[in-house]
Amino acid sequence: MTTAERAGAPDPAEAVPPDPSLADAPGPARRFWSVRRLPAVLVAAVLLAASGLTLYDVVAVRAHRTGMAWRRTLAHQLATRHLDDPWVLAGASLALLLGLWLFVLAVTPGLRRLLPLRTDDPDVRAVLDRRAAALVLRDRAMEVPGVRSVRVGVGRRVVRARAQAHFRALDEVRRDVDSVLTDAVRELGLTRAPVLSVRVGRPPKG
């Protein structure tokens, strides 16, 4: 969330152009997909290290050398422990959680900070950063008479605005803030219009 006072509010942020490295998906209303380089690098590094270490140990045994202690210990444990052993269950649970995490990464687009925008050309796609959208909405709400400060949080489905009014009736300020932000959200041109939640209160007394 961002907080601003009436004096010194930053310039409204502009729409963020799509990253050319992002994977493309058909349809202007679809979200961009993250390439997820970090999870891919981590999984590849772990598999490479495990495969290289195992291959080295196998070659050493083939060369009539003593195998590594960790592999002999692991083979002994796998041969002697039962399936209901707590360590076996813990290892299986960890492998299951890791597999579910990788599956979720594979089937979800990610990039939750980017909101897709409507475009007239189906071959053109645009997005708006959620923080940039929050700055735009915050500045619009600060123009309402009586508003002293505003905090705006922009989600993919809900926009939450929390304003403090130092004069005028709270009901009137809330009605004006709700009207201004409703128009501002519409002008953002999002493909999916979020639900607007507005709360107005008095600043705490010093």
Would you call 20 helix, strand, or coil by DSSP? Answer: coil
pLDDT at 70: 78
Spans of the chain below 50 pLDDT: 1-28
Q: Would you say 200 and 168 are in contact if contact means Cβ atoms under 8 Å apart?
A: no
- The answer to whether the predicted template modeling score (pTM) of the entire model surpasses 0.85 is no
Q: Would you say 54 and 70 are in contact if contact means Cβ atoms under 8 Å apart?
A: no
